[in-house]
Amino acid sequence: MKDRACISFDNEKMIFHIKTRKTSYIIAVIDGFLAHAYYGTRLEGSLTLNHLMVEDIAFLQGNIGEEGTFMDSFPFEYPSDGQGDFRCPGISIKNDKHITGCNLKYEDYRILQGRRAIKGLPYSNGKDISSLEIVLKDVNNLVEVTLSYSVFYESDIITKNVIVKSISHRTITLNTVMSSSLDIPYDETEVISLPGSWARERMIERTKIGHGQIVLASDRGISSHQMNPAFAVVSKDTTETTGPAWGMALVYSGSFVARIERTQFDRVRIVAGISDNDFEWTLKPGEEFYSPEIAICYSSEGIGNMSRCFHDFVRNNIIRSKYIFKERPVLINNWEATYFDFDSKKLLEIGQKARDAGIEMLVVDDGWFGAREKDNSSLGDWECNTKKIPEGLDGLCDELNDMGLQMGIWFEPEMISPDSDLYRTHPDWALRESGTGYVMCRTQLVLDMTRKEVRDYVYACLSDVFSKTNIKYLKWDMNRPLIGKVSTVTPPGELHHRYMLGVYELQEKLTEQFPYLLIENCCGGGGRFDLGMLYYSPQIWCSDDTDAVERICIQEGTSLFYPPSSMGAHVSVCPNHAVGRITDMKTRGHVALFGTFGYELDITKLSEDEIDVIRQQIDDYKKYSHLIRMGDLYRLISKDDKAAWMFVSKDKTEALLTYVQILGSANKPRVLVRLRGLNPKNNYLTDDGRIYTGDELMNIGFATGKVFGDFKSEIHYFRAVNNTEKDIGEDADEKL
């Protein structure tokens, strides 16, 4: 089923029914109010919606039907405040007399083939999208609100965004505009969130919902290391493979908030969108405000299925880069190899060794510009430092190209060092924390991306480098939060959002002018790992923690919503620079294979044995990366002492299993890992020459090797074969 058929409107009952392959999202118009009636397993029959019990919804004894009590219990599809609904609002508006409140009533709807663009923001895209727009009008004639829903039928994802248009004759202020509100029954409901810190991003946390609110938020001007803008609401018993999970991921990279509220009547209201902390957006008559988009998914088959739905959606409908399904070059980045202490001689030495080992690209990280010898100067002076690189970027790039290596480069376009020519010329281009002062972070300040002349300058610097050289990759970094909100041009209440609009504008221009450029977004590691950034770049540096053992947790947390092919993951040197741990080179490779794969070490200091391991790892990457880029991920084991995961090709004829023994123990038996996602009827040949049935592998399990030691790992490749061990393809069942 495609196109319009997945959205229907029953004119008599006034019910909207959005269907995806396995889910239903139902909205009803009741007395002019829009109710969120249901979001869950797909319903096929004719709908009664008797469960809404509208007649006793206003529960205050003796006052059934009274407006105030009705407003505080009705499951609004898009709730507003100031009218008696005391739960967290979707929208909050002040009129010109500073009086808060609007009352939204159903006005109209449209079903579209395709979808409306979201001005200035990243949004889901692709073929075969159907969308529904429901128009609500405020009875006080302040605003018209359009709720927009786009349907991604195959991946069981619906995206939502909101357009608020002023219909007032006077200026009004928006204080809250959430991208979505949902209302689900409380059923021992829990929240899975992804909090963290620098080098400890996206640690999975599961919290019970008591009465009141759980708030997940960032007010740092970036989606942040501390809380990711993606989360799930699940039942107490939901597991990786069973139970309900409602997943949500904002397509946004700035300050955000999600509130999960268990109400007095044991419902759970979930709102999420742009942070409304000090948010004040002024709308003049006729002006519109576009909220960021949010992607939502319901899975009745646990968290693993929810993740796979998100992975398909993100790969097919968020990431636009031509690299999305392509093999990415194996790169080596000089950051952990040299930090700021390098010159072109050193880079060429690294390059030569890297090329000999089979590496395909050298990325020159921080320190190539201005007078940058440490992190306290030159951001903004994007001219090559010819003391370090006398031949210039173009010359260095040519030399690397002649060696057979591509070249990539690091930029931090949003920043300015107080010790820079740019700052000396334009001190007012930096954002301040109060009228005159600023709070230093990593000895740098943030450029005011809300100003056009600033964006024009930054763009000219970027475009100059990519127009004049053959550089094929950009690492776009961002290393500090926005603290204050003092701009010379933009009011504080609009600053964070306008800042993001500025950053998005730059990345959009860049992807248009240099479509071949492989962009990796980065934010002090993974401080801006979100769907907004993935719209512009197929990959994001996952974390500055490159330790293989810690990376297992970071990558697992990230994989709840984001596809492994989007995770920048490198093999780095030991003892690891973030944690001091020593792990096996093989294990480092196996863990980095979970993501984009590359190196972050001084290859000139490695032994020949270690270089041989690199050659083997690159071979593995070439053999298996299609499974990681295009296959389905199954998280199999996630324990303190061991972890296992696998990738299965869409046609189920190939799979790659990774097993890591984190801590060894004496006299330990082999571990039986029960695989998932295979075809039970297929025979699978492993790399040790044995044949198993898919059925056995999934129900009995696959016995790992006798792994000895801490931090050891192994990978196993499975290929569907017929009885003569000849490869079989998509029609595996028939040929057996």
530 or 544, CB closer to ligand DGJ? 544
Q: How far is the CB of 479 from ligand DGJ (least distance, A)?
A: 5
Asked if residue 575 has a cis previous peptide bond (ω within 30° of 0), the answer is yes
The closest residue (CB) to ligand DGJ is: 366
Give contact residues for ligand DGJ (rule: CB under 6 A). 335, 365-366, 410, 477, 479, 522, 524-525, 541, 544
274 or 519, CB closer to ligand DGJ? 519
183 or 336, CB closer to ligand DGJ? 336
CA distance 369 to 381: 7
548 or 721, CB closer to ligand DGJ? 548
Q: How far is the CB of 412 from ligand DGJ (least distance, A)?
A: 7
200 or 652, CB closer to ligand DGJ? 200
337 or 698, CB closer to ligand DGJ? 337
Tokens 């701009």 belong to residue: 487
The continuous run of DSSP H or E covering 418 comes out as none
247 or 370, CB closer to ligand DGJ? 370
Tokens 């290596």 belong to residue: 405
CA distance 685 to 231: 38
CA distance 68 to 60: 10
Phi and psi based region of residue 246 (left: phi greater than 0; alpha: psi -120 to 50; beta: remaining): beta
CA distance 245 to 310: 12
Strand partners, 24: 19, 40
Strand partners, 247: 232, 297
417 or 559, CB closer to ligand DGJ? 417
Strand 189-193 relative to strand 205-208: parallel, antiparallel, unpaired?
antiparallel
Q: How far is the CB of 223 from ligand DGJ (least distance, A)?
A: 15
Residue burial 341-355, b: 16+ Cβ < 10 Å; e: rest: ebebebbbebbbbbb
- Residue 85 sits at φ, ψ, to 5 deg, of -95, 110
CA distance 262 to 267: 6
CA distance 479 to 365: 13
Q: How far is the CB of 269 from ligand DGJ (least distance, A)?
A: 37
C-alpha distances in Å from residue 369, one per residue of 159, 230, 331, 342, 510: 41, 36, 21, 12, 20
Q: How far is the CB of 572 from ligand DGJ (least distance, A)?
A: 10
Q: How far is the CB of 262 from ligand DGJ (least distance, A)?
A: 38
Q: Which amino acid is it at 256?
A: F
290 or 541, CB closer to ligand DGJ? 541
Q: How far is the CB of 366 from ligand DGJ (least distance, A)?
A: 4
27 or 337, CB closer to ligand DGJ? 337
- Contact between 569 and 596 (Cβ < 8 Å): yes
Instruction: Return all residues near 721 (Cβ < 8 A) that are at least 6 apart.
Output: 683, 684, 685, 691, 727, 728
- Contact between 735 and 695 (Cβ < 8 Å): no
DSSP states along 215-235: EEEE-SSSS-SSB-SEEEEEE
- Contact between 353 and 398 (Cβ < 8 Å): no
121 or 591, CB closer to ligand DGJ? 591
Q: How far is the CB of 203 from ligand DGJ (least distance, A)?
A: 18
CA distance 439 to 386: 32
379 or 591, CB closer to ligand DGJ? 379
Q: How far is the CB of 583 from ligand DGJ (least distance, A)?
A: 19
- From the list 341, 343, 342, 348, the residue with the least C-alpha distance to 362 is 348
User: Edge-to-edge strand order for the sheet containing 642-648?
Assistant: 632-638, 642-648, 654-661, 712-721, 683-686, 691-693
Number of continuous H segments (helices) and E segments (strands) in the chain = 14, 39
Q: Which amino acid is it at 403?
A: M
CA distance 229 to 193: 9
Residues recognised as catalytic = 477, 544
Per residue, the 3-state secondary structure of 559-594, as one string, reads: CCCCCHHHEECCEECCCCCCCCCCCCHHHHHHHHCC
Strand partners, 289: 164
